[in-house]
Structure 1
Amino acid sequence: MAKKQINEMSFLDHLEELRWHLIKSVTAIAIAATVAFFAKGFIFDVLIFGPSKASFITYQLLCKASRYIGVESFCFTELPFIIQSRTMSGQFSAHIWTAITAGFVVAFPYVLYQLWKFISPGLHENERKHSRGFIIVSSLLFFIGVLFGYYVICPLSINFLGTYQVSSEVYNNFDLSSYISLIRASTLASGLVFELPIVIYFLTKIGLVTPQFLRTYRKYALVLVLVISAIITPPDIASQVIVAIPILILYEVSIFISKIVIRNQKRNEKKHA
């Protein structure tokens, strides 16, 4: 019935349906952003500025690990830079955009739900049945990626860039917008990168990707992963390797998922033969 209804809808009907799903998604983001706006103390003092403090948990763990191997490169009492705002509206703009970003992260599962509500009527019954966990798995991967970006990529980047000096005559006084942009880019980029298995799942479903294709181009994927790691991390080998490892694991998981999708498709073809 749903399949029939979706086929009977005109292009304008589809646009109208999409518009309402977008309105609901934006409304959810706006509500979450409003809550984040009023939680300014927690958002900024605890979350945003957490990686700028020596007491941040990642630095403590790295300090213990570095001492274990006989060095203390990650042990320090403070990071030698100051965060400041150089424009009249700098702090207010940072407050607004940070609240919107937090709203998007919190409302991400609901945004996915609205996306699923839009595309699911066009799927067959068995396709909807096998994709019921889409929202849960996608949201879980996204949140894991965000946490990875926040607790791994952000501290590594801030520690490297915050302590880097071309001369002792130059002091690191970072603008607030620059600092927040690094936090935002690191967390959101990681969250989206961790959606790779979901992307591969749908690309396999529509026939654009196969396990053989992924295995054949694994070496090129390795180069691409290293490039991505170099872009979203500071230019030191240790940081790039730390970031590259989970992405490579996700790639291997994606191959396994693609293999399962192909196997299920062949099984269904035999049943209907």
Structure 2
Amino acid sequence: MSKPSLDDQEMPLIAHLTELRKRLLHCVIAILVLFGGLFYFSQQIYSLVAAPLRAYLPEGATMIATGVASPFLTPFKLTLMVALFLSMPIILHQIWGFIAPGLYKHEKRIAVPLLISSILLFYAGMAFAYFVVFPIMFGFFASVTPEGVAMMTDIGQYLDFVLTLFFAFGVAFEIPVATFLLIWVGIVDVATLRKSRPYVVVGCFVVGMVLTPPDVFSQTLLAVPMWLLFEAGVLCGSMVKKREQEEAELADEQQSDAGSQPPAPRP
């Protein structure tokens, strides 16, 4: 039997790299197209993102720009990040298109709901931060401002602050997906996760302390949803594992019944 040539060995890798390049190019094009459509509204987008803080500024106070180019660069940066966040479904679809050919049928059946739920949970985390966390947090900051201190936040620092929180809450809301994958793949079982619940709660508060500002309100508002989402992931994982075990037992019973049946009489 002749040995495969060097070209035959390299072609699969080259084909994968070509496919990966095509997928990455589609992602970049999607981000640039969204950015081009949103750039005209960059000032309005920044005003919308800054609304939770501006609502609690003292009367007559405004946000400030300490950098020379900040009035242009800050909305520009925000619009680019918004385009990235809005293109997440397209990016995840391209990732799915790259890895789907290597999955089995039963893996695809689980992967599609996971992909959709990942997108929805990421957006839900960002919405939770904007509509729930920001008003409480900025209201608290405004209430503890010392007398004689004017609360006027730099627009660049504010953008970095809220983008960090958006990303933190978006990633934190992916906990059910991560927990489910750990159970489904078999890295950990449901019983082990349930026994580890006290450590998970402590870990959620530690993550909240690291990813959020140094106040107990924002830390709690991140830690508590993380814990509840962990419980949701454990519940979904246990349900799927139970269903797979029932299907496996049913298949074994059908095999044993088929093996115990006497052969049909010959005509």
Considering the TM-score relative to the shorter chain, is it more than 0.5? yes
Query: Match of 1:71?
Result: none
Using the alignment, how far apart are the partners of 1:15 and 1:81 within structure 2?
54
Query: Match of 2:174?
Result: 195
Percent identical across equivalent pairs? 27
Query: Match of 1:68?
Result: none
Aligned partners of 2:180 and 2:234 also within 8 Å: no
Using the alignment, how far apart are the partners of 2:142 and 2:52 within structure 1?
11
Using the alignment, how far apart are the partners of 2:33 and 2:82 within structure 1?
11
Query: Match of 1:109?
Result: 89
Aligned partners of 2:92 and 2:115 also within 8 Å: yes
1:21 equivalenced with 2:20 (yes/no)? no
Larger radius of gyration: 2
Which residues of 2 match residues 138-177 of structure 1 at below 5 A? 138-165=118-145, 168=147, 170-177=149-156
Using the alignment, how far apart are the partners of 1:117 and 1:144 within structure 2?
24
- Unmatched runs of 5 consecutive residues or more in structure 1: 1-7, 55-75
Deviations 1:178-200 (A, max 9, x none): 10111111112111111111122
Shift, 1:49, TM fit: 1.7
1:216 equivalenced with 2:195 (yes/no)? yes
Pick closer, same or farther for the CA change 1:149–1:176 going to 2, 3 Å: same
Deviations 1:48-88 (A, max 9, x none): 2211233xxxxxxxxxxxxxxxxxxxxx7847854211222
Q: How many residue pairs are counted as aligned between the two chains?
A: 243
Query: Match of 1:48?
Result: 49
Amino acid across the alignment from 1:241: T
Shift, 1:148, TM fit: 0.4
Shift, 1:109, TM fit: 1.2
Query: Match of 1:62?
Result: none
Aligned partners of 2:35 and 2:80 also within 8 Å: yes
TM-score (norm 1): 0.78
2:153 partner SS? strand
Using the alignment, how far apart are the partners of 2:208 and 2:126 within structure 1?
15
Using the alignment, how far apart are the partners of 1:77 and 1:96 within structure 2?
24
TM-score (norm 2): 0.80
Aligned partners of 2:204 and 2:224 also within 8 Å: no
Query: Match of 1:180?
Result: 159
Shift, 1:118, TM fit: 1.2
Amino acid across the alignment from 2:52: P
Query: Match of 2:6?
Result: none
Which residues of 2 match residues 1-273 of structure 1 at below 5 A? 10-45=12-47, 47-54=48-55, 78=58, 82-165=62-145, 168=147, 170-267=149-246, 269-270=248-249, 271=251
Using the alignment, how far apart are the partners of 1:244 and 1:158 within structure 2?
18
Using the alignment, how far apart are the partners of 1:252 and 1:9 within structure 2?
45
- Unmatched runs of 5 consecutive residues or more in structure 2: 1-9, 256-267
Amino acid across the alignment from 1:38: Y
Using the alignment, how far apart are the partners of 1:38 and 1:22 within structure 2?
26
Pick closer, same or farther for the CA change 1:79–1:198 going to 2, 3 Å: farther
Aligned partners of 1:154 and 1:186 also within 8 Å: no
Using the alignment, how far apart are the partners of 2:246 and 2:18 within structure 1?
37
Aligned partners of 2:58 and 2:151 also within 8 Å: no
Using the alignment, how far apart are the partners of 1:223 and 1:214 within structure 2?
14
Shift, 1:102, TM fit: 0.5
Alignment RMSD: 2.6
